[in-house]
Chain A
């Protein structure tokens, strides 16, 4: 034990404080999801389950949920393909411009979303492309690529290349090697990357505001529109609450799968 007793106690308190800070607004949202009044004053006026029924019967909520799931899935699949290809290229071969590739891949997520959004919107309008689900997917896939890329390349760096070489020695062609050796070894990295990318796309609002058409609404867009209506606030709280609950399992899963990455060397 390197840290002193006092340090450990202080750190524990500090961690608890930060966690409390992280969860304060979420707790407030959950409390207001059961609030009888539409006005969000404190303390809440009363307890009711009424808004859950309203949210479940709201066709806009269902529609937005379907759109969000579709967009996130498509964007993730696209990101998986692009990210894996790029990671394999950068890891296996040394070539001119290798550093630039990782720089380029990070750009969509490092540059402010508002710039990406305005740029994509301008381009779509310039070429007369109709806004809809696909324009949303294009935007999301572009910055989800780097998440897959990071996960895959981190895994590739940890894995020895001998199994691939052995596979080639045993007569496997490139596709067989990938399918039966590399792929499975990347499996969990791909899964955790996919989960993170799905989450990012599901919650994305800044770029989506620019790339969605008038008829396509994702959950964040629904929330955005509802916040501009005078009486939709409770439904928004309910939707948020359900989303938080629904995300516990995927988050836990993603953590377990990427556990190999973060298990550090404790010498």
Chain B
């Protein structure tokens, strides 16, 4: 699917990109405001600079797999090398297996930035690990869809802590030869799992409990779940029961996406939960799979590029953030991963690589995302105004998941 988009379209796009010139100004002075030290509490507001300074020559990122491609997978998908050439910032990346891993990596202090999902952003902000960002210094921030700006998961009291990258849903992927008729709900991995016993592929992270909750919202409305990430005791117990049944049905858990791809290719799994990235890559390899958003809806993510409060290379990070909002950067990245782009310009660029990309990913269709619950952090106060409600905490989720996986 991707390789056929090579050649002419991309060359034209590349020429256009080159003609546009460097994105960040090269003023010798100035640098971003760095936030308070990482000792709890969000970093203080009032960033001050108006321009991005000189690049430091290096950039260390924590990313979701597939968020920083340099042509290794497909030569046409490379938004890192042009960035390195233009800014002189050599990019080193580390993939995170899930948001918990991402937060932990950021806590080590070795990285300049992260592509954080909503269940990491809140913790990073509250922990003082990421810095506030003055979005006026970016060339491309103005183009971002209004619906993606100043969202609660990356903006606190009017202060931005990052820039949006893209959003998408976790999909149900099934082998079209083995799973017939084509499924329309998540039933195949839950109650209907016995039909595929031993061949179910499940994401190995505590956040997956929310997927059980999403299914319960449709099948057991009496539980009264309104937010799959904020669950009281009864709702949580029901979700865990579902998950234990799933484990008993012989689920195969993946945390590295290539492991899941290998399992589908080898025929070891035929149905499961995945990211759009794997669907596209497997199709490109000729494996008979299809990825759908089931009727109940699904969990998903809305990612934000955030900068470490004590980043060694802040200017490079800011330049990267700007680059990932540029039409070429965002367009390539979102087409590659299969998520929605963040601006009309990026959509237009994406159109040249993959026609209809923004329609397929519902980039401007807010109604679509009503059925997609972005990854969020479970909080004891249920993240609502009602002081009386208490929910299971992040720790509870991790402990429960360990229990399911360990036994």
Q: Return the chain B residue nearest A121 by Cβ.
A: B108
Contact between chains at B265 and A39 (CB < 8 Å): yes
Question: Is A229 interfacial (CB 8 A cutoff)?
Answer: yes
Contact between chains at A125 and B108 (CB < 8 Å): yes
Known: A215-B58, A229-B73. A39 touches B92 (CB 8 A): no
B67 to chain A, nearest CB (A): 13
Known: A228-B95, A230-B281. A213 touches B258 (CB 8 A): no
> For residues 216 through 246 of chain A, which have their beta carbon under 8 Å from a beta carbon of chain B?
225, 227-232
Cα A131 to Cα B92 with chains together (Å): 13
Contact between chains at B60 and A215 (CB < 8 Å): yes
Cα A232 to Cα B95 with chains together (Å): 15
Question: Is B26 interfacial (CB 8 A cutoff)?
Answer: no
Chain A residues closer than 8 Å to B266, beta-carbon distance: 41
Contact between chains at B93 and A232 (CB < 8 Å): no
Cα A243 to Cα B92 with chains together (Å): 25
Cα A131 to Cα B58 with chains together (Å): 14
Q: Return the chain A residue nearest B65 by Cβ.
A: A228
Question: Is A214 interfacial (CB 8 A cutoff)?
Answer: yes
Residues of B within 8 A of A (CB-CB), count: 23
Contact between chains at B261 and A228 (CB < 8 Å): no
Question: Is B387 interfacial (CB 8 A cutoff)?
Answer: no
A257 to chain B, nearest CB (A): 39
Contact between chains at B281 and A125 (CB < 8 Å): no
Contact between chains at B58 and A232 (CB < 8 Å): no
Size bin of chain A's contact surface? 10 to 19
Question: Is A128 interfacial (CB 8 A cutoff)?
Answer: yes
Contact between chains at B92 and A230 (CB < 8 Å): no
Contact between chains at A228 and B109 (CB < 8 Å): no
Question: Is B349 interfacial (CB 8 A cutoff)?
Answer: no
> For residues 25 through 64 of chain A, which have their beta carbon under 8 Å from a beta carbon of chain B?
38-39, 41
Chain B residues closer than 8 Å to A39, beta-carbon distance: 265, 285
Question: Is B72 interfacial (CB 8 A cutoff)?
Answer: yes
Chain B residues closer than 8 Å to A41, beta-carbon distance: 265-266
Question: Is B263 interfacial (CB 8 A cutoff)?
Answer: no
Cα A225 to Cα B94 with chains together (Å): 9
Point out the residue from A121, A128, A232 that lies within 8 Å of B72, measured CB to CB. A232
> For residues 238 through 266 of chain A, which have their beta carbon under 8 Å from a beta carbon of chain B?
none
Chain B residues closer than 8 Å to A131, beta-carbon distance: 108, 110
Interface of B is mostly: mixed
Q: Return the chain A residue nearest B108 by Cβ.
A: A125
A60 to chain B, nearest CB (A): 9
What sequence of 0s and 1s flags, for each residue 83-124 of chain B, a beta carbon within 8 Å of any chain A beta carbon? 000000000111100000000000111110000000000000
Contact between chains at A214 and B95 (CB < 8 Å): no
Contact between chains at B58 and A128 (CB < 8 Å): no
Question: Is B256 interfacial (CB 8 A cutoff)?
Answer: yes
Point out the residue from B73, B92, B95 that lies within 8 Å of A231, measured CB to CB. B73
Known: A121-B108, A131-B110. A230 touches B94 (CB 8 A): no
| Most chain B CB atoms below 10 A, which of A121, A131, A215, A227 | A215
Point out the residue from B60, B65, B73, B285 that lies within 8 Å of A214, measured CB to CB. B60
Point out the residue from A128, A215, A228 that lies within 8 Å of B256, measured CB to CB. A228
Cα A230 to Cα B260 with chains together (Å): 10
Chain B residues closer than 8 Å to A121, beta-carbon distance: 108
Contact between chains at A125 and B109 (CB < 8 Å): yes
Chain B residues closer than 8 Å to A130, beta-carbon distance: 110
Known: A39-B285, A215-B58, A228-B256. A128 touches B109 (CB 8 A): yes
Q: Return the chain A residue nearest B286 by Cβ.
A: A39
Cα A130 to Cα B73 with chains together (Å): 31
A207 to chain B, nearest CB (A): 16
Cα A54 to Cα B111 with chains together (Å): 30
> For residues 260 through 290 of chain B, which have their beta carbon under 8 Å from a beta carbon of chain A?
261, 265-266, 281, 285
Contact between chains at A230 and B73 (CB < 8 Å): yes
B21 to chain A, nearest CB (A): 27
Q: Return the chain A residue nearest B255 by Cβ.
A: A228
Contact between chains at B281 and A214 (CB < 8 Å): no
Q: Return the chain B residue nearest A215 by Cβ.
A: B92
Cα A230 to Cα B262 with chains together (Å): 9
Q: Return the chain A residue nearest B277 by Cβ.
A: A230
Q: Return the chain B residue nearest A58 by Cβ.
A: B72
Cα A228 to Cα B59 with chains together (Å): 21
A residues near B, CB below 8 A? 38-39, 41, 121, 125, 128, 130-131, 213-215, 225, 227-232
User: Can you spell out 8 A-B residue pairs with CB atoms less than 8 angstroms apart?
Assistant: A38-B285, A130-B110, A213-B110, A214-B61, A214-B92, A214-B93, A228-B257, A231-B72
Besides A125-B108, A230-B258, 12 new A-B residue pairs in contact (Cβ under 8 A), listed by A number: A131-B108, A214-B92, A214-B93, A214-B111, A215-B60, A215-B92, A225-B95, A228-B257, A230-B257, A231-B72, A231-B73, A232-B72
Closest 4 CB pairs of A and B: A214-B60, A214-B92, A215-B92, A228-B256
